[in-house]
Structure 1
Amino acid sequence: MRSNTIHKGKNLTFFTPEVTSGLDAVFLDTGISAGFPSPAEDFKEERLSLDRELIKNKEATFFARVSGQSMIGAGLEDSDLLVIDRSIEPANNKIAVCFLDGEFTVKRLKIDKDGMFLQPENPNYPIIKITEDNDFIIWGIVTNVIKKV
């Protein structure tokens, strides 16, 4: 899976996926034990494509690299790569990439009778109430996060 940079902002850098064919990796469908391996276990081998696993709608899918710590409680850390699907309908409690007052940000959507809020997953950051005064668009929904170890 390759990508092309399309936008670099303060909080997120966006990429478009370039889905490739013929680059499937070997997938060992045995479960990886964190304890002692079983010597009697047979290995079942099949091919796995991360493109097919992570991208459900190629035309509406983008990647963005996280910059900042506002979503660490949700497991989104600085330099993580987000998979964002713009075709998914926004809903309460989804993690969304939003365009807010000239900047992209990633936050959890909270929608209730009092309105819409962007909730960070770090207590050091404030909850943002969306009002009519904001320039606001829900740009896409985060479907996966890719981490380096």
Structure 2
Amino acid sequence: MGNIKIIKGEFETQLALEHAGVKAGFPSPAADYQHETLDFNRDFIRHPEATFYGDVEGDSMKDAGIFDGDRVIIDKAVEAHHGSIVVAFWNGEFTLKYMDLTHKKDGYIELKPANPDYPTFKVEAGDNFEVWGVVIHMIRTFEKL
């Protein structure tokens, strides 16, 4: 189904990294002297008390660029809208899908995968359903350390 494992983050520690822009064209000699500070907490986490990580399991969102093993950053304080990638609690499980509100006036919404091999879920009034949070960032590891 494309499940997700939720992990609470610790945001007290400031993570400061040296960061220089990575150019995809010709290198500039001045690039050796450019340095900015990247603070993961400051730059990516708007609501620390409402932010969680999720480890993606499955390939239902592969066409959105989210693959099995990726880690997403989920903000529960961000309001979901049509087209948001959400972590939803539905039928007793967490799932990661696009939220489609085009049928809201008809009494239901849809949770859509980004993989044609998976079904769209129709969520109707009375279902045990909650938008648990909105995916705001994704982290991908290319090499295991």
Q: Report the TM range for the smaller structure's normalisation.
A: 0.7 to 0.9
| Deviation at residue 85 of structure 1 after TM alignment | 0.4
- 2:115 pairs, out of 119, 122, 127, with 122
CA distance in 2, matches of 1:56, 1:22: 14
What do the CA deviations read for 1:90-144 (whole angstroms, capped 9, x no partner)? 2111010000111000000000233200000000001111013521111000000
Please tell me whether the aligned partners of residues 14 and 41 of structure 2 are also in contact (alpha carbons under 8 angstroms): no
* AA aligned opposite 1:23: L
Which one of the candidate residues 75, 92, 101 is aligned to 1:85? Answer: 75
Show the counterpart of 1:52. Answer: 42
Q: Aligned pair count?
A: 138
Deviation larger for 117-126 or 10-19: 10-19
Query: Relative to structure 1, is the Cα distance of residues 14 and 98 closer, same or farther in structure 2, using a 3 angstrom cutoff?
Result: same
Q: Closer, same or farther in 2 for the Cα pair 1:133/1:23, shift >3 Å?
A: closer
In the TM superposition, residue 41 of structure 1 has moved relative to its aligned partner by 4.5
Q: 2:94 aligns with which of 87, 97, 104?
A: 104
Equivalents in 2 of 1:83, 1:101: separation in Å?
A: 22
**Which stretches in structure 1 are left out of the alignment for 5+ residues?**
1-9
1:127-142 aligned at under 5 Å gives the runs 127-142=120-135
TM-score (norm. length: structure 1):
0.85
Highest relative contact order (Cα 8 Å, sep 6+), 1 or 2? 2
The equivalent residue for 2:17 is 25
Kindly indicate whether residue 20 of structure 2 is the aligned counterpart of residue 11 of structure 1: no
Give the distance between the partners of 1:64 and 1:75, measured in 2 at CA.
15
RMSD: 1.7
Which structure: greater helix fraction?
2
Compute the TM-score of the two structures, normalised by the length of structure 2: 0.87
2:53 is matched with: 63
SS at match of 1:51: helix
